[in-house]
């Protein structure tokens, strides 16, 4: 018979909500098995307690337990952290290193924020779950491990699967036994209990009397939606405990510590900041499209040249169409002349004209840069080209900064 109240005391869990009791009961029942467990719930609900309960009441309780925050490890090193690496397998790998799955052999590993794992790492994790086998980074030797995996996430994995951010087969392998942690807004009867517990803890920590809510403040506390859940409630309680001199907290005092409209404060409220972000994003997209366009234009140009068409004509098509740079009074404007390729002499003449155009372009760029004191942005605007194109031309022609006379 599972004594839920005893478990709550051991792991310092506050609350009597049936949904919370149900989550604890499932954790205790699944603990003696080796089944994978997926814990879901919003951020701040206390998901990290349940893997400890499962490990404590499992046959692996004498083995190692390790919690890994998958979202806190850079993508480039996550494989090394989890599975280890061989010496020299990548820059900085000065020695062979054991990964968590090797270190915790015979124990339990808790993968918090599992939805943050890269897809390539998800493949490795799936193999460990199915066969117990893994490869160190840079190694071809298969290794075995006997580890129980418990995962947690605040992300809707079904939605992540539909967006190709999470593997469906890994989801079903992890979700052998699901445990759902209810958000604080669904535990109204527990909110004041938690507040009193936190208030008592902070009173002891800071050596001051505990704060107390009046009836209206208590109602306000219980009706608030708490988007940050238990973590937010704890933070608010600590703020009031430290800042307020009067230990009797009224509704008005409490309201000062609760974000309006039951919403979390946002980092970027300034519209200009949002527009700036959008502008930078759009700029990146534009650069990518420009690069693709440049490559396609180059391919077309080379194809036309291979077919014997005029180099001067193709050059004038695909470079930046700025009259100041590309205008050449000596260039024949007659279309028949441009396409006349009857003699080798004319081909040579056309090549010379292209070189002449390039010389004029270089000279024009130098003059405009000098005019604008080497400031590329206004110079690019004056030339009618993008700043990126101007930078490329400066590199191409090896143009040095011009000094003002």
pTM of the model: 0.64
The pLDDT, as a whole number, for residue 394 is 84
User: Tokens 């609760």 correspond to what residue?
Assistant: 258
DSSP 16: -
- Other C-beta atoms closer than 10 Å to the C-beta of 361 total 20
Check if the beta carbon of residue 145 is closer than 8 Å to that of residue 134. Answer: yes
Check if the beta carbon of residue 31 is closer than 8 Å to that of residue 53. Answer: yes
Under CATH, which number does the domain 186-262 receive? 1.10.8.60
DSSP 322: -
Instruction: With H, G, I as helix, E, B as strand and everything else as coil, classify residue 383.
Output: helix
| pLDDT, tens digit, 9 for 90 and up, residues 108-148 | 999 999 999 999 999 999 999 999 999 999 999 999 999 99
According to DSSP, the residues that pair with 213 across neighbouring strands are 249
Check if the beta carbon of residue 382 is closer than 8 Å to that of residue 368. Answer: yes
Kindly report the backbone phi and psi dihedral angles of residue 152, in degrees, each rounded to the nearest multiple of 5, phi listed first. Answer: -145, 150
Pairing assessment for the beta strands 142-144 and 65-69 based on DSSP bridges: unpaired
Kindly report the backbone phi and psi dihedral angles of residue 294, in degrees, each rounded to the nearest multiple of 5, phi listed first. Answer: -60, -45
- Residue 237, Cβ density class (10 Å: 0-12 exposed, 13-18 middle, ≥19 buried): buried
According to DSSP, the residues that pair with 133 across neighbouring strands are 144
Per-residue pLDDT band for 393 (boundaries 50, 70, 90) equals confident
Structure tokens at 82: 């989890």
Domain segments of the chain as ranges: 4-182, 186-262, 274-307, 308-405
- Other C-beta atoms closer than 10 Å to the C-beta of 106 total 13
Fold of 4-182: Rossmann fold (3.40.50)
Per-residue pLDDT band for 273 (boundaries 50, 70, 90) equals very low
How far is 264 from 46, CA to CA, in rounded Å?
Answer: 18
Residues above pLDDT 90, as percent of the chain = 60
Contacts of 91 (CB under 8 A, 6+ apart): none
Structure tokens at 274: 């949002």
| pLDDT, tens digit, 9 for 90 and up, residues 163-202 | 999 999 999 999 999 999 999 999 999 999 999 999 999 9
């Amino acid at each position: 018979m599972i004594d839920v109240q005893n478990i709550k005391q051991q792991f310092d869990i506050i609350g009597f909500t049936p949904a919370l009791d149900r989550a604890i009961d499932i954790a205790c029942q699944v603990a003696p098995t080796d089944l994978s467990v997926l814990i879901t719930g919003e951020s701040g609900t206390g998901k990290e307690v349940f893997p400890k309960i499962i490990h404590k009441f499992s046959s692996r309780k004498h083995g190692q337990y390790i919690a890994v925050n998958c979202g806190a490890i850079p993508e480039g090193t996550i494989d090394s952290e989890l599975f280890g690496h061989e010496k020299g397998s990548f820059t900085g790998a000065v020695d062979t290193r054991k990964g968590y799955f090797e270190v915790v052999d015979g124990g339990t590993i808790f993968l918090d924020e599992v939805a943050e794992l890269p897809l390539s790492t998800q493949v490795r994790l799936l193999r460990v779950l199915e066969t117990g086998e893994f490869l160190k980074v840079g190694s071809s030797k298969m290794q075995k491990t006997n580890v129980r995996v418990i995962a947690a996430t605040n992300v809707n994995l079904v939605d992540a699967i539909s967006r190709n951010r999470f593997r469906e087969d890994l989801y079903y392998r992890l979700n052998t036994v699901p445990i759902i942690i209810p958000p604080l807004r669904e535990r109204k009867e527990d909110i004041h209990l938690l507040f009193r517990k936190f208030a008592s803890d902070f009173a002891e920590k800071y050596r001051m009397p505990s704060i107390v809510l009046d009836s209206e403040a208590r109602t306000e506390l219980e009706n608030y939606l708490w988007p940050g859940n238990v973590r937010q409630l704890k933070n608010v309680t600590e703020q009031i405990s430290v800042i307020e001199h009067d230990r009797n907290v009224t509704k008005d005092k409490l309201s000062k510590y609760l974000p309006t409209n039951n919403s979390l404060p946002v980092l970027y409220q300034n519209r200009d900041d949002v527009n700036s972000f959008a502008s930078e994003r759009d700029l990146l997209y534009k650069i990518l499209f420009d690069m693709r366009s440049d490559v396609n234009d180059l391919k077309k140009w080379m194809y036309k040249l291979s077919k014997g068409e005029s180099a001067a004509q193709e050059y004038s098509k695909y470079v930046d169409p700025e009259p100041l740079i590309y205008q050449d009074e000596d260039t024949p404007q007659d279309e028949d002349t441009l396409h006349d390729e009857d003699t080798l002499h004319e081909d040579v003449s056309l090549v010379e004209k292209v070189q002449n155009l390039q010389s004029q372009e270089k000279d024009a760029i130098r003059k405009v840069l000098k005019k604008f004191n080497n400031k590329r942005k206004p110079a690019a605007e004056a030339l009618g080209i993008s700043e990126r194109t101007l930078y490329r031309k400066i590199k191409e022609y090896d143009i040095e900064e011009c000094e003002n006379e």
